[in-house]
Amino acid sequence: MTLRIIQVGLGGWGQSWAVNIVAANKDVETVAWVEIDEETLQQARQRLIARSQAEDGLTTEESGHDQSLSLGEDHFFTSLEEALSATEAEAVLITASLPGHVPATRMALLAGKHVLLEKPFAPTSAEALELVELAERQGRILMVSQNYRFIPAVRAAAQVVRDQVLGDIGTVSIDFRRFDHTAPFETHRHYKIWEPLLADMAIHHFDLMRLVLGQEPVQVFCKTWNTAWSKYVEPPAGTMTITFDGGAVVNYRGSWISMGPPTDWAGEWHMEGEHGELVWTGRGELPDAAILRLSGEEPRALKLPRLKAVDRAGSLDAFVQAVQNGTTPETSGRDNLKTLAFMFAAIESARTGLPVDIG
């Protein structure tokens, strides 16, 4: 059965979701789009309708999509309340910016809708817990799109750890490098967002640490910084040491203003255990890769799993399956509270200069 959704948030990222992810999923039908900014709404409407008209002239095979964007003027709204009243939907996809997450999620859950939303799913732990408990009272699924989990190299690395191929994990080093510093300050919203490294980017890596290691963080010691020449308002670079409850220690370095060779989005991972090491990376311009070297053996490339859907498409597919089967997704709001606590602890440590325990 097709899952009918309302999508909230039609900025650049939201439009990418609509055109590249949602429209490609044959199990989903968008019945309404919501954007509170009228100018952005009109731009999105023009782009989506133009895409719909182009798709209508192609077959599924030619377009590469399993469904077209069947649109009309009456599918677009400036408030979620209007969209909920005017349409029939089972779920809401929230791709708005962070300030819109809590009010939109709260309204959707109170209306009895399942919710899939972008990370971080709330600006405070208290609001995140409120939404989780509301979803549970309503008997609805609240899922966070931690899309980096749906990457072949990530799944391969997690399986290596689960199978104890490396034995106990001792030290993990992770590097993330990008040079996102060429656009004019006035035109690039990324320069102005809250915690561009820790909340916007490293939260992906925090969530991957939990998944891949199969352990939970207990303490983080973080240092972030800006430079005199940076266009960022808040610190775009940082380093941290994280201790996990299973004994692993992770050294993390991240930067949006690095002049070094750019890494893939999942970062470059070097994992050392009692029996050898695993080096892997993923979600980049090149195919995922994972190299295993056990003591006394030559390095060998791991065969990576074939996933039904990857990246954001994987998030959406997992959400649809959870709703249709009545199951709890692995990135449920309840589980993601741990990733959020990890992020907030890193932010607190960076601001106080002290190690912070993660409860």
Q: How far is CA 161 from the centre of its chain?
A: 22
Q: How many CA atoms lie within 13 Å of 269's alpha carbon, on the beta-carbon side?
A: 31
pLDDT value at position 63? 44
Give the residue with greater pLDDT, 50 vs 268: 268
Angle between helices 125-138 and 333-352 (to 10 degrees): 170
pTM, whole model, 2 decimals?
0.93
Instruction: Give the residue-averaged pLDDT of 214-220.
Output: 98
pLDDT value at position 59? 43
What residue ranges of the chain are covered by domains with CATH 3.40.50.720?
Answer: 3-140
User: Per-residue pLDDT tens for 340-349?
Assistant: 999 999 999 9
As a whole number of angstroms, the distance between CA 87 and CA 21 comes to 21
Instruction: Give the residue-averaged pLDDT of 155-180.
Output: 98
Paired tokens of 185: 């300050």
Among residues 250, 257, 249, which one has the least CA distance to residue 225? 257
Paired tokens of 33: 């789009």
Edge-to-edge, what's the strand order for the sheet holding 356-357? 300-301, 289-294, 276-281, 268-273, 169-177, 249-255, 237-244, 217-225, 356-357
For 62, list phi and psi in degrees, rounded to 5. -70, -40
User: Per-residue pLDDT tens for 76-98?
Assistant: 999 999 999 999 999 999 999 99
Looking at 3.30.360.10, 3.20.20.100, 3.40.605.10, 3.30.300.30, the CATH number of the domain 149-307+340-357 comes to: 3.30.360.10
What residue ranges of the chain are covered by domains with CATH 3.30.360.10?
Answer: 149-307+340-357
User: Per-residue pLDDT tens for 46-69?
Assistant: 888 777 666 655 444 444 444 445
**CA distances to 81, 86, 209, 250, 307 from 90, in Å:** 14, 13, 32, 40, 26
As a whole number of angstroms, the distance between CA 154 and CA 291 comes to 12
Give the type of residue at 155.
R
pLDDT more than 70, % of the chain? 94
pLDDT value at position 65? 44
CATH number of 3-140: 3.40.50.720
